[in-house]
Chain A
């Protein structure tokens, strides 16, 4: 019965060019065994093709040139969506914060905004700034420098030290 099936040579020739008219195609129409063999081969190659195509698609997406090309194609829609979402988030957050603050202490909010611009507050700020400037500009003598110590105290100190040594 085996001799009735396609041999390797015939099978390979059929795979090379199935469109070519030949006895192989006619045989395959009526022979289940040979058709199954053909399907097995096609299934193996099909699995290889889908696996390798998925692999190369993944690599194409991760490659910079492909990403750039995709990016430029979808640039407008992507950016517009992200900007719109960001704006919505910003507006929503600020509104939420404002409402929350008003609910907690509305009186303080109002008086604060009023006091910050009053003349008394400005005068107090100026006074504070002057005090800070004064502190910054004050010349502090360096404690270890002999020139900065008053001469009388320095002499007294030296005397004491000499006395201690002589004892």
Chain B
């Protein structure tokens, strides 16, 4: 009986080791693929640029500055590709870099000055024309346009931190914990910002009772 238990426990240990080896192999493969993904800057830009540009543009409300930040983000990511450990996805890593750059720009006097001087450079008419035409009726399409504009206008009333967190949650589909890791903010602070942003946007959309 004792022999059988010992044998079983040995088998379990062996299986456990096998699973551990497989897991580490899978992780190594994932890391290798992420690192190779970072090696090819063209592919990196092609895949992640549209989403990064959207995030940065609507976080800071300045298209020109957003373009510059996104460019800088890719440059930094490429230069620091050796330091990427594969703890998170490339997407989360890039958004982390973009968030750091946004934070740095928010602190500069130049950004504060230009924010006071000029309004946002995002052209709403051009943006509305970008809404992809679905197979729905014209009325539904118009309704979708109106909804999108309402959300955009509601976002403009939020603080930069609230906007960033709202976009990461609802456009990039990150969980509050992932947002907290990505932007280096406490989870409770992230939740507070998200709660306020949601309340403001639902108020703007006329959904609050």
Contact = CB atoms under 8 A, between A and B. Distances in A.
Contact of B207 (A40, A60, A66): A40
Nearest to A8: B208
A66 B49 contact: yes
A135 to B, nearest CB: 64
Secondary structure class of chain B's binding surface, majority of residues: helix
Contact of A54 (B41, B63, B131, B191): B131
B61 interface: no
A51 B148 contact: yes
Interface string A1-39: 010000110011101110100000000000000000100
Secondary structure class of chain A's binding surface, majority of residues: helix
Given A8-B209, A47-B145, A69-B41, A55 B202 contact: no
B194 interface: yes
A126 interface: no
A56 B169 CA distance: 18
Contacts of A17: 175-176
A12 B50 contact: no
A41 B54 contact: no
A24 to B, nearest CB: 13
A49 B51 CA distance: 10
A56 B51 contact: yes
A43 B186 CA distance: 30
Given A12-B198, A44-B151, A70-B46, A7 B209 contact: yes
By size class, the interface of chain B is 35 or more
Interface in B37-83: 41-43, 45-46, 49-51, 53-54, 57-58, 63, 67, 71, 74
Nearest to A13: B195
Contacts of A69: 41-43, 45-46
Nearest to B144: A47
Given A17-B176, A52-B171, A47 B209 contact: no
B112 interface: no
Interface string A41-70: 101110111111111111110010110011
B205 A44 contact: yes
A65 to B, nearest CB: 6
Given A53-B51, A55-B126, 11 more contacts: A2-B209, A12-B199, A47-B148, A49-B170, A50-B148, A52-B148, A52-B171, A55-B130, A56-B50, A65-B71, A65-B74
Interface of B: 41-43, 45-46, 49-51, 53-54, 57-58, 63, 67, 71, 74, 126-128, 130-132, 144-145, 147-148, 150-152, 169-171, 175-176, 191, 194-195, 198-199, 202, 205, 207-209
Instruction: Return the 4 tightest CB-CB contacts between A and B, nearest first.
Output: A48-B151, A56-B54, A44-B147, A54-B130
